[in-house]
Structure 1
Amino acid sequence: MQVNTKEYLHHLDKVCSDYSMNAFDVYKVLMSKEDDLFPLSFEIVKYKVLKDIACDTLKNIFTLEELKSIFSNTNVKKIKNPQTRKFIQTFN
């Protein structure tokens, strides 16, 4: 599957807009895991992304290695959507 981050990045806009974070901010936190300059922690952003963004869209934004890096060690018990839970279990 081909990753086209620029084309799909706008989907991240809705995740943390209530906290004055745009799509690039969300992307930056997820990729770097550094959240010191942002109002939300990496862990919170990660779970908000899983709640608000479809797995197929995430596959278009991030490579498989990036997805593994971001979502490994995710507590699947916190994920309500069965499809998302199954998707995340492939990384744990």
Structure 2
Amino acid sequence: MIVIRVELWSAVNGQVSELARMTIDNIGTTANGQHADYRARSLRGRDAVTLHRAMLAGTVQREGKVIRHARLRLHVWHLVARALDTLGYAERRS
């Protein structure tokens, strides 16, 4: 499982606050290992304690899938971007 945490690091007092968390699970890989399918889930909460509880309890805000991701050819950030898109977080501008 991949866990993506969004943290705010204060330039004023050095305090670190977790703002969001998402998990990405591998749900299937092709026989040759080149591609994989993933489940992406953003968790409900806006602080580390609530997000940790949500992760343990499976309290999901949004859920989506990334299908046939080229896992060996592309950097993990490509997977994160596709996961955010499938969750509806990518803003489309006209």
Tell me, yes or no, whether TM beats 0.5. Answer: no
For normalisation by structure 2, the TM-score amounts to 0.25
Q: Which has a greater percent of strand?
A: 2
| Structure ranking higher on relative contact order (CA contacts 8 Å, 6+ apart) | 1
Q: Which has a greater percent of helix?
A: 1
For normalisation by structure 1, the TM-score amounts to 0.25
